[in-house]
Every structure is written in structure tokens, then in C-alpha cells.
Copies of this chain bind each other. A is one copy, B any other.
């Protein structure tokens, strides 16, 4: 600093600023750096808009004061909240934990706050959250949305969002490659000699449930299998008992189950009833959630990179929020799936 005038900023408050009780504001920084607040603001958000020298000075001042801009105030004037809301149908479900983990991770990396919302499997709550939070979030990630196509379309026109595991023509989507997964699972079952298969259905409003059933039916029929369907069941372990009993009653030798939670519940019930898995019945779950590897028997399941899906969803949303000139925003990401064969599947009983 060769220029002494720089040091001679008007210091009305003497050293009072070194230890004020309130958190420092942009004004404190401005004063300390001897510039206007607008300059501080610019130095911090659009660094190339100010002279490198002043920028450094401001940065130093900010660092010295331990200044952190108020996201509130920033949001007020800029209209951006720097937060995105993640809506999940059921925060209790480990499947969503995985996705939350993914979004959380990626959001954090981007310096964006995650607002977590449990919509309790209800489209009303979902819509309500979407509405109430339109001001407090820059965008939304809808995991397994329960909204109708029309609702989804309407909402997506008002606010930036990306859906996860819910096809949509109106909004960017990241999906799990369910069709492929179901086909892999049926192939596995077929190779083990199963002829009578049963789909254990989840929530009727779940798009992925519908999708799974559709592909299941098509492909199993094509293979000449006897196809059954039971359900719907709530995607919880506690629903597993009913599902297991119903499954046994169909006479099927193998089940593909809507998700792991339900599958694990079935496992427990089957064991309690003395029905051996996989000797008497094979079970295939879906999602490969926490626990699928250590339940008894370990569950054969459709694995998908859920956490990664969460990250991708965030990336897509962020890309939508800050459109980069060159790149066009991706409208669809399909996450690959594979069958993780563990011990809940085996040869069809003779």
C-alpha cells in the first residue's frame, strides 16, 4: 500500500468498530475499507466489476470483521433466496434419505441451502408447500411427486423445478431406469426357473409404481409367465405381513416388490410363517436401501444410484436457475440400474 490516503479513511468511531456487539453489516465493511456499500456489494458478488486493488482491500476488511452477508437481506433485494426446497413424500422412508443425502451434498457444494419438506404422500400438501414456499425457495426438487400431470405442468410454469422418479413433459426429470430394471429382474427369475410371478404393488398414485407394473406385466407375459398382482400396499415394512400372506395365496413362486421396505417386511412375515426364502419363494426388492444387505436373508434387489440421482437433480435445477449461455439445459436424466443378487432369490421350487 504505497498510497497513504488509502489508510486515512475517515474513522469516526475510532476503534469502536473492532468490537461491536452486533454482527458486522456491509456498511461496517464499507467504512473500514473506505468505500461505499455498493462497492462492497459488488466486490463480493461480481468481483470483476471492481478494481482488483479495491477488491483486495474490501476482502481484507470483510475478513477482519468476519463479515458474512445476510442471506435474508440479499434475498430481499435480489429476489433470490439461495435455497431450494426438496419435497419428499415420506421423510421416514430410507429411500428418500438417500436422495436427500444426495441433494444435500450437491446443494451444499453449491452453497445453497436445502429446505426439506415432508409432504406425507399427499398431493395437497405438496401443492401447498409449493405455493407457500414459492418466495422462500428459488427452486424445487420433487421426489416421487404425487401431483397430477396437469398440476405438475401448471406448477412448473410458475417455478423452476425438477422432478425425480416422476415423468413429466413439462419439467426436467431424473428417473431411475425402471423398465430395464424390471426386465433384468424377470430375466433373473426366469433363469432360475420361475413361471409364476407376482408384482407386489405400492401406492397407486406413485408414478413409478404404475410404471413398474406396466413393464412387469408386459415382459412377464411375453415370457409366457403366469402373472399376478397384489396390492396396493403402503411402502412400509409393516405392510409386509399382509403382502406376504397375499403373495403366498396367489401361488406365485417369486415376487417383485414395489420397494425394499415392503420386501423386507415380507421377508419377516414369511420367516415367521415358516415359509423359506428363497427355497419356497423368491423375493426381489427395489432401491437397495440401507438394510437390504443385512436383512435376513439379504435381499436381492434392484440397485440404483439414488444418492447420485439426487445430485443430478440438483445439478439440473441449478443449471436451470443460472442458465449458462452456451449449454442447453438437460431435460431428462436416466439413472442406470442393475440387479444386485443376494440371497432372497433362488431356483423355483420343484
- Point out residues on A near B: beta carbons under 8 Å: 23, 66, 68, 70-73, 75-76, 81, 91-92, 94, 97, 100-101, 104-105, 108, 113-116, 118, 131-132, 134-136, 237, 264, 267-268, 290-291, 294-297
Contacts and interface: CB of A to CB of B under 8 A. Distances in A.
A101 B92 contact: yes
15 contacts: A68-B134, A68-B135, A70-B76, A72-B76, A94-B94, A94-B97, A97-B97, A104-B116, A264-B294, A290-B290, A291-B294, A294-B295, A294-B296, A295-B295, A295-B296
A135 B76 CA distance: 14
A289 to B, nearest CB: 9
A193 to B, nearest CB: 26
A91 B104 contact: yes
Nearest to A268: B294
Contacts of A114: 115-116
B72 A135 contact: yes
B70 A135 contact: yes
A71 B136 contact: yes
B134 A23 contact: yes
Contacts of A291: 290-291, 294-295
Contacts of A68: 131-132, 134-135
A78 to B, nearest CB: 10
Contacts of A132: 68
A237 B135 CA distance: 41
A159 to B, nearest CB: 11
A297 to B, nearest CB: 8
A135 B295 contact: no
Nearest to A92: B101
Contacts of A136: 70-72, 113
A115 B294 CA distance: 31
Nearest to A237: B294
Given A75-B72, A104-B91, A114-B116, A267 B294 contact: yes
B118 A115 contact: no
A91 to B, nearest CB: 6
A104 B118 contact: yes
A20 to B, nearest CB: 13
B113 A118 contact: no
Nearest to A68: B132
Contacts of A100: 91
A73 B71 contact: no
